[in-house]
Amino acid sequence: MKIQALLLVIIMLLLVSGFAGCSKNKNLHKKALDYFERGDYDRATMLAAESLLLKPDYDKAFYTLKEAYPKANQAHLDEISALKNSENNDKWEFILAEYKALDELHRSVRKLPPISDPNTGVRLSFDPRDYSSEMAEARSNAAENYYQKGIHQSMMDSGRNSQKKAAGFFKSALNLMPDYKDSTTRYETARQNAIIRVAITAFEDKSGAGNRYGAIADILSDLVLSYIVQDEYNSEFVEIITRAQMDQVMREQELSASGLVDEASAARLGLLLGAQEILSGRILQVDYIAPRITALDQYETANVDIEDDSQERADNKEVNCHFRKYTKRSGLQILASFSVVDVSTGRIKLQKSLSSSQNFEDEWGDVISGDARALSPSQKNLAKKAEPSAPTAKEMVNESLIALGRDISAYFFDYIK
């Protein structure tokens, strides 16, 4: 009996697996047909091929593949031909993309076993050509195009924006072909010419909070520095002067962070450090609202069934409940400002005031008297909750400082673009 039961289980598992495979197969073909009707012959080909991998004799998927594949293949070949006849020098990257799409298309059908027309028995054939040499040629031509554009841009103008564009062209050439000619050297030269050197000073705490919430000014300036350095994309053309360099020079020259917006001090420090911009900031105000609890008394009435063993039917009875809902609230707001000074002129190029708020609110409840069955579902849930703990002042301060650090770095990156 045990063997029979085991065989039955195996048969059932095989049947379930077969039905699941069949369902997946039909679903794939349905999607393929939908893409075919939309004119997306690439996706139709790939999904039909995937369907046939599950069931090679599935005739509906076969006919979809038979119609979609030639259309997809020819569309890419026609686009490549049109692009090659174009006089646009940027055409080679588009040609490369077309060859890549062709390669993906062919890889999807190469995985199929030999399949034949269910009616005629004629075997379905696919384009056997290997386009790797054409792809290599298109990649090389696209890299050369970017390389020449980089040379032209770098020689056209020595300004920061022009050199930044030139570096971008050389980087694109390297993305296509690593170590293409001397693109690495040219990229680095252009990048160095486009770099802006920024000194980030220690921020000042003008809030009057003292050390109640920790060294909040130092935390904020460190966060700004961290966000700028860690953003590889935006910091590609930014060089940060370290705090150690800043502190040493400021001590030697008897400068204070509060005096850096002064024209003479900024120019003097910039000359000593080789900085072009100085970013400084202040925490102006910290407002903390300690947790406060408010209570709201609610009186509820409901009719409930009261069962009695001596009676066949339950009696309907009105019950009352005195419920108290508590709400705990706290909050914090930090106001800050920052500025960017051009050290060559001492002028403030960017100045922003920002704020960040943290708010906490949560509810719970308690049955004061009466029958809890009179309560609504939401009140019953509140009655099950314990009194929540509000975040501490330092926790709120830290969250606000993180948000301010992100905002300041975002404004800075937007400014230097």
Q: Tell me whether strands 348-370 and 315-342 are parallel, antiparallel or unpaired.
A: antiparallel
Same domain, 347 and 375: yes
Same domain, 84 and 205: no
In this prediction, residue 332 carries a pLDDT of: 97
* Least confident residue range of 135-149, 177-191, 297-311, 324-338: 297-311
Give the separation between CA 130 and CA 132, rounded to whole angstroms: 6
Same domain, 215 and 300: yes
Return the percentage of the chain with pLDDT > 90, whole number: 68
Count the Cβ atoms, other than its own, within 10 Å of residue 25. Answer: 19
Tokens 């040499």, residue located: 133
CB within 8 Å of 394: residues ≥ 6 apart: 213, 214
In this prediction, residue 19 carries a pLDDT of: 40
Domain count, the chain: 3
In this prediction, residue 9 carries a pLDDT of: 41
Same domain, 205 and 176: no
Confidence of residue 256 (pLDDT cuts 50, 70, 90): low
Query: Does the pLDDT at position 264 exceed 80?
Result: no
Q: What is the mean pLDDT of residues 25-38?
A: 92
Same domain, 154 and 295: no
Give the tens place of pLDDT for each residue, 275-316: 898 898 999 999 999 999 999 999 999 998 876 655 556 678
3-state secondary structure at position 390: coil
Q: Tell me whether strands 277-306 and 196-200 are parallel, antiparallel or unpaired.
A: parallel
Position 313 in a domain: no
CATH of the domain at 101: 1.25.40
Same domain, 377 and 229: yes
Tokens 């925490």, residue located: 283
Same domain, 172 and 217: no
Q: Which domain holds residue 190?
A: 136-194
Query: Does the pLDDT at position 75 exceed 80?
Result: yes
Same domain, 376 and 246: yes
Count the Cβ atoms, other than its own, within 10 Å of residue 193. Answer: 17
Q: What is the mean pLDDT of residues 227-242?
A: 89
Query: What is the rounded average pLDDT for all residues in the chain?
Result: 88
